[in-house]
Chains A and B, each alone.
Chain A
């Protein structure tokens, strides 16, 4: 592969005999501050045009990015050559993609916080919506519902998920059934949440008759979504446990099951806890299956085995789509509940990562 070199003659390190081309070891490059300079100029140009034509912020930003994406590669092309120009263009494009992808997160957080923060009063957390019309009320019933339904989902999913991972890693190596399970777990990760809800409904209808609504049904539906996540993460973690540790334990005359329980699982505990927390965070925000099988109610219901049960996501949905008259109180409650839900889900995420970082054992080296 030949390097297209600028035509200007430059000093070379050595000129070999035999008529080979001399490759210059330096070639012209843009100054280090070039991207910054082009950036400033692009912003200035966009501001000028935008102010003249009375554009909004979004259009001006778009123009600034466009100017930058054209000007910098163009300059690079003149000074550095086509290949470097392409490189700079791609760099600009991928970073723009990243910023663009961040826009929803930033605007969403801003919206939710600015609209929801004012709702976070003691009353909001301690009152249900029972007999509330218009202003007031709270999300106590929905928080409790989310906690209970998610708790029961975890009670089902965690043992099944971890034991299935133990089977896959410790007992199933090379077996046909283990390969099938691994593959189906992967496929199961993609089940739409609403289908999980319909499954729970179709299952419960057989026992309880049409129109059944029950918090536990929500737990079943969430388990369908949660189990594959737990299995996958636990499986990864168990695989990370070095075989040397298993062998050290076997060599001490420890039976296999005790080796798994006392050596393998404790070694991977932090990773498994992280995986479980991420799975909980994922399902705690699920709406569709709960809409189907758990329904919604204005009152507190602590019994997951009977009657409708409110949850935060469903509460948000109904408060926003059927806010009542006048609508602003319902909508406000929706934003407040959305803020609470986001805080719960995101802190679960962050704590989960902290757990894996702080508590994972250092395996020797």
Chain B
């Protein structure tokens, strides 16, 4: 069920402000694509445009095409709600719903869409998703506790379980480990590794070692200049980016000369 994504000539705006300009890339199915770059270069903005979350912000809009499964998700007759059901997202800070238990949090996507399901089916979705998120063993005895009772790393895996419970085709992750300690980070990285056999994963990260560890392809974003929009500088297999990048600015960033 994993799908590839083709982005062509994408411009992203906040009101009149052009934040990201002219991005074209192909994101391969069943692989992990990492997006790196200095702060404020538009990589998170780009990520949010991949499931039309960008337009949640008033005045924000997008020009260009993002084609998934032969369909441009920015065509006028596409329902953004449907896009988000097939392109899931995990946020920088874990955000389980505070009014719901762990069990209900996993099912939130299914339940909030008012899909009625028998108890047995719900149970099996919860178990499958929590197992998929490597969290089942830790929480199986306290599924009715509030989601906020978990540690930060567990909460983030709960959010991943919640995202995969609706069986999306693509999973977007916006710096999923930046609020976590090293041990939780390593648990999430292992999880990403396991998930890529089923999902197309796009991850934004500030941590270059992480990008090198988890991804097959890497895109490097940078600002065209102070006050100018961000753009995709280089997109290549991760091994090439980290050993022999095409662009000098990529090498400068990776070797730590700026950013």
Contacts and interface: CB of A to CB of B under 8 A. Distances in A.
A and B touch in the complex (CB under 8 A): yes
A253 B86 CA distance: 8
A251 B88 contact: yes
A174 B58 contact: yes
A131 interface: no
Given A247-B53, A248-B159, A364 B98 contact: yes
A250 B53 contact: yes
Interface string A242-256: 101111111111110
A275 to B, nearest CB: 18
B98 A363 contact: yes
A263 interface: yes
A263 B108 CA distance: 9
A303 interface: no
Contacts of B114: 258
B81 interface: yes
B91 A252 contact: no
Interface in B133-175: 146, 148, 155, 159, 162-163, 166
B48 to A, nearest CB: 9
Contact of B163 (A174, A251, A362): A251
A30 to B, nearest CB: 49
A254 B109 contact: yes
B109 to A, nearest CB: 4
B163 A267 contact: no
Nearest to B149: A362
Contact of B113 (A174, A254, A266): A254
A361 interface: yes
A262 interface: yes
Contacts of A362: 98, 146, 148
A253 B95 contact: no
Interface residues of B, number: 34
User: DSSP majority for the A interface?
Assistant: helix
A321 interface: no
Contacts of A262: 111-112
Contact of A249 (B58, B94, B112, B155): B112
A364 B94 contact: yes
Contacts of B58: 173-174
Interface in A262-288: 262-263, 266-267, 269
A259 interface: yes
A363 B146 CA distance: 10
Contacts of A245: 95, 97-98
Nearest to A255: B81
A267 B98 contact: yes
Contact of B81 (A174, A244, A246, A254): A254
B101 to A, nearest CB: 12
Contacts of B98: 245, 267, 361-364
B26 interface: no
B219 interface: no
22 contacts: A174-B58, A174-B59, A244-B91, A247-B53, A248-B96, A249-B112, A251-B51, A251-B53, A252-B88, A252-B113, A252-B166, A253-B83, A253-B109, A254-B109, A258-B114, A262-B111, A267-B99, A361-B99, A362-B146, A362-B148, A364-B93, A364-B94
Interface of A: 173-174, 242, 244-255, 258-259, 262-263, 266-267, 269, 361-364
Given A253-B113, A262-B112, A364-B95, 16 more contacts: A174-B58, A174-B59, A244-B93, A248-B95, A251-B53, A251-B84, A252-B163, A253-B86, A258-B112, A263-B97, A263-B112, A267-B98, A363-B148, A364-B93, A364-B96, A364-B155
Closest 7 CB pairs of A and B: A253-B85, A252-B109, A251-B89, A361-B98, A244-B95, A253-B84, A254-B112
